[in-house]
Structure 1
């Protein structure tokens, strides 16, 4: 179940898979998918199941089907490293996805821009749309609200009997929201929210404000 929020007179839906849908623009924001990471680690001998390679594409298809966006904007680290066998899977996914796809480049995005150009995927260092800054690294800029990624935010919850649970989350401060990592094979970083921050944790198939 998605969670709706309102920022600067615009409506957004936080999806339990980790994407954010900008209603007025019909734009789906997704950060830190790290495609190719499984293949990269398998190449160097890590015992990662081969079926994990396809999981990200299954999840991408699910969230695109839920929102049917006009545009999909990846907020950096779409691919984990250099070209590997997974690029062909990405080519197939782009071909069958009806939405326009754009990439705001992140620190892991080292694949030649020409490869994306062949797929009609535009690359930008950042985007400013109305009063919003779309970027990979967290950055607060005067007059703008930032959507970004990079950190892979998570929150630690404490329950009865010394129970502790760490969950990926959307982390919102006054002028910025950090999206969770969308990729299945990624780590998380536990955030320490202040009283003015808002945390939207992903709990199974729901997004819950905590």
Structure 2
């Protein structure tokens, strides 16, 4: 379910949901949850079951229960679109979770910041913490290790014959790690790692370094 790694001599724990836990800060980092996406697509005629909107909240509850963090940082694209009925579910979740929440604004975060402020959620364009640069879009900046999202990285594995399997992954290079999308129904983008890059694939049961 988890895999412990080190980045710049600091311990992190990768979770198979795509979550990243920073034990030293007791902080949970999640990217691309895309709440509201199910309702958005249903509104435009997509045949998605109505109960699918609850899957993200179940995942959130499960990973919070597992790590018991003292704060949560969302690395962008927390809510997929404009306000819809999933915002009410989000308000309820925030009320129940009772943890400090911070959002690094992403390209899909178009809801007024005042709505987040009403829930005591801080919003920033980026956050620098102990030599780590937290952003939504991947960014290279000298002197910092970047933690980001946005890309929804995945790798395509080839089995015997012509079998292919596409799996989400944490994509890491010398100065950066891109988290997989945490949300359901988000889609993925197949990355092409170079020799020096590190890939941690996520399955329903575990995290595996390739």
| Structure 1 counterpart of 2:49 | 49
Alignment of 1:120-135 (within 5 A): 120-135=120-135
Structure 1, unpaired ranges of 5+: none
| Structure 1 counterpart of 2:159 | 159
Query: Cα deviation per residue 1:174-201 (whole Å; 9 max; x = unaligned)?
Result: 1000000001011100000000000000
Alignment of 1:71-90 (within 5 A): 71-90=71-90
Q: CA deviation at 1:161?
A: 1.8
Q: CA deviation at 1:144?
A: 0.3
Q: CA deviation at 1:98?
A: 2.8
Q: CA deviation at 1:53?
A: 0.3
Output the CA distance in 2 between the equivalents of 1:99 and 1:166.
Answer: 34
Q: CA deviation at 1:162?
A: 2.0
Q: CA deviation at 1:45?
A: 1.1
Query: Cα deviation per residue 1:26-49 (whole Å; 9 max; x = unaligned)?
Result: 110000010001000111111110
Output the CA distance in 1 between the equivalents of 2:24 and 2:35.
Answer: 28
RMSD (Å) for aligned C-alpha atoms: 0.6
Structure 2, unpaired ranges of 5+: none
Runs of 4+ aligned residues of structure 1 deviating over 3 Å after TM superposition are none
| Structure 2 counterpart of 1:195 | 195
Q: CA deviation at 1:99?
A: 1.9
SS in 2 for 1:160: coil
- TM-score after normalising by structure 2: 0.99
| Structure 1 counterpart of 2:172 | 172
Output the CA distance in 1 between the equivalents of 2:21 and 2:43.
Answer: 35
| Structure 2 counterpart of 1:65 | 65
| Structure 2 counterpart of 1:106 | 106
Output the CA distance in 1 between the equivalents of 2:71 and 2:145.
Answer: 19
1:118 equivalenced with 2:118 (yes/no)? yes
Output the CA distance in 2 between the equivalents of 1:15 and 1:98.
Answer: 22
Alignment check: 8 A CA contact 1:8 1:131 kept: no
SS in 1 for 2:161: helix
Count of aligned pairs between the two proteins: 210
| Structure 2 counterpart of 1:96 | 96
Q: CA deviation at 1:159?
A: 1.3
1:14 equivalenced with 2:14 (yes/no)? yes
